[in-house]
């Protein structure tokens, strides 16, 4: 049997007891302690945060208590076991500080004494805040996105409450970003810089939105419906899932191959044009305030790359699934289940690829990286799957 105490004033041993009529067990209770804690920043300022106080027992946390610090006065924690080592795990909630754990020596604990825990500044990354004031837009805002220039990932994309006109980010790594506001309209900023330990405020101003229209065709001049026109990024466009249009960022070509991006600020812009089975292109277009640039025709060449994947050591009765992906986030291109010993992927663009295979129910993965180019358009890779086992 196991015993425990519901009284914060007393602790009982956590081990398991065997009790019989012939061998009665006497369990000795121990009086708990009250620990008074104050968490401060490096300059001595009291810090409001959430933390977990833990008494370790081997590899398991034998006792834990969630503690809330108000940033004003010390916090008393009742029911602290009288034995064992303690540690306080503070979750990150301040600029320049990261999550950290502080050991508490048993000799330092005594009734009526306040233990001061001084947080150490983090060296992982510098951070700042981003604040967006969109009170001047005059239309309903539903979400705000910001990301580094040349990327759609690596930033934040969060919903906005209907009642809000001012939005503030959590602490975020310093650097340059582009802010995009979505809702019943679309708005984008120029380059915005988040500085260390500062709040950068972006006020949504009025500008004359520009637009660009392109017609996407194959080498024979035939339209490519479903082709993608997107602002240029370092991230590949994936066709594993149907690309979704996104104001100011991504547009899909219609049945005539026409695609349009609107709401753009004036300036020099780069765009990616891509279609499944074709080599993508990048185009540069300068746009003036309110300019509606059209008449641009982009001809995409048929992709000529191919990858042959051979699975060696397949087990009878086992199933395998194969994933073809590209470097970067959201990069999965093709997923195939119950694959045969040889699988060939055709009409691949010249770039880097990753191939991964796993047993049918998941588990360990075998991978290979391949580069296709005009000099080496075809690749053959063998993956040894003899050691792969399905997850039970």
Instruction: Specify the pairing of strand 175-183 against strand 186-194.
Output: antiparallel
pTM greater than the 0.75 cutoff: no
Q: What pLDDT score was predicted for residue 14?
A: 54
Neighbours of 276 (CB within 10 A): 17
Q: Of the candidates 150, 333, 155, which has an alpha carbon nearest to the alpha carbon of residue 249?
A: 150
User: In whole angstroms, what is the distance from residue 156 CA to residue 206 CA?
Assistant: 23
* Mean pLDDT for all residues in the chain: 84
Dihedral of CA atoms 254, 352, 176, 239 in degrees, nearest 10, equals 20
For each of the chain's 392 residues, which pLDDT tens digit applies? Answer: 555 555 556 665 555 556 666 666 666 666 778 889 999 988 888 888 888 888 765 444 467 889 999 888 889 888 887 776 788 888 766 666 777 888 887 777 777 788 899 888 765 567 889 999 999 998 999 999 998 888 876 667 778 887 788 988 888 888 899 999 999 999 999 999 998 888 999 999 999 999 999 999 999 999 999 999 999 887 778 777 778 888 889 999 999 999 999 999 999 999 999 999 999 999 999 999 999 999 999 999 999 999 999 999 888 878 888 888 876 655 666 777 778 889 999 999 998 998 988 887 666 788 899 999 999 999 999 999 888 876 65
User: In whole angstroms, what is the distance from residue 181 CA to residue 205 CA?
Assistant: 12
Q: How far is CA 261 from the centre of its chain?
A: 26
Q: Report CA-CA distances (Å) from 132 to 139, 165, 193, 204.
A: 15, 8, 13, 7
User: In whole angstroms, what is the distance from residue 32 CA to residue 354 CA?
Assistant: 57
Question: Which domains are present in the chain?
Answer: 10-118 (2.60.40.10), 127-203 (2.60.40.10), 210-300 (2.60.40.1120), 305-384 (2.60.40.10)
User: In whole angstroms, what is the distance from residue 279 CA to residue 296 CA?
Assistant: 18
Give the HSE-up count for residue 142: Cα atoms under 13 Å, Cβ half-sphere.
Answer: 6
Q: What pLDDT score was predicted for residue 102?
A: 87
Q: What pLDDT score was predicted for residue 58?
A: 47
């Amino acid at each position: 049997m196991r015993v425990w105490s519901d009284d914060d004033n007393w602790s009982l041993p956590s081990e398991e007891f065997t009790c019989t009529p012939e061998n009665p067990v006497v369990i000795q209770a121990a009086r708990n302690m009250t620990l008074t804690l104050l968490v401060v920043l490096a300059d001595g300022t009291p810090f409001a945060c959430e933390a977990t106080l833990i008494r370790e027992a081997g590899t398991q946390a034998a006792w834990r208590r969630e503690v809330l610090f108000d940033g004003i006065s010390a916090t008393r924690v009742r029911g602290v076991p009288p034995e064992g080592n303690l540690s306080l795990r503070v979750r990150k909630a301040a600029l320049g500080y990261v999550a950290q754990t502080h050991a508490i020596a048993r000799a330092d604990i005594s009734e009526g004494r306040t233990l001061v825990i001084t947080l150490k500044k983090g060296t992982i990354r510098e951070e700042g805040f981003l604040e967006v004031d969109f009170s001047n837009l005059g239309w309903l805002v539903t979400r705000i996105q910001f990301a580094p220039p040349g990327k759609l990932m690596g930033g934040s994309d969060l919903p906005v409450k209907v009642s809000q006109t001012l939005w503030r980010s959590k602490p975020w790594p310093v650097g340059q970003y582009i802010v995009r506001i979505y809702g019943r309209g679309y708005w984008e900023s120029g380059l915005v810089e988040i500085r260390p330990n500062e709040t950068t405020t972006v006020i949504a101003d009025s500008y004359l939105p520009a637009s660009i229209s392109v017609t996407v065709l194959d080498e024979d001049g035939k339209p490519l419906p479903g082709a993608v026109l997107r602002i240029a990024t370092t991230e590949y466009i994936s066709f594993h899932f149907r690309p979704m249009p996104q104001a100011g960022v991504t547009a899909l070509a219609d049945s005539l191959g026409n695609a349009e991006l609107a709401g753009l600020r004036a300036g020099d812009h780069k765009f990616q044009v891509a279609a499944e089975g074709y080599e993508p292109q990048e185009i540069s277009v300068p746009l003036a305030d309110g300019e509606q640039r059209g008449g641009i025709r982009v001809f995409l060449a048929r992709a000529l790359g191919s990858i042959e994947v051979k699975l060696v050591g397949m087990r009878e009765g086992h199933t395998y699934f194969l994933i073809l992906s590209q470097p970067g986030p959201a990069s999965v291109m093709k997923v195939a289940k119950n694959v045969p010993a040889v699988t060939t992927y055709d009409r691949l663009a010249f770039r880097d690829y990753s191939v991964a295979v796993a047993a049918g129910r998941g588990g360990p993965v075998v991978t290979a990286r391949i580069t296709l180019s005009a000099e080496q358009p075809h690749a053959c890779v063998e993956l040894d799957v003899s050691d792969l086992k399905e997850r039970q």
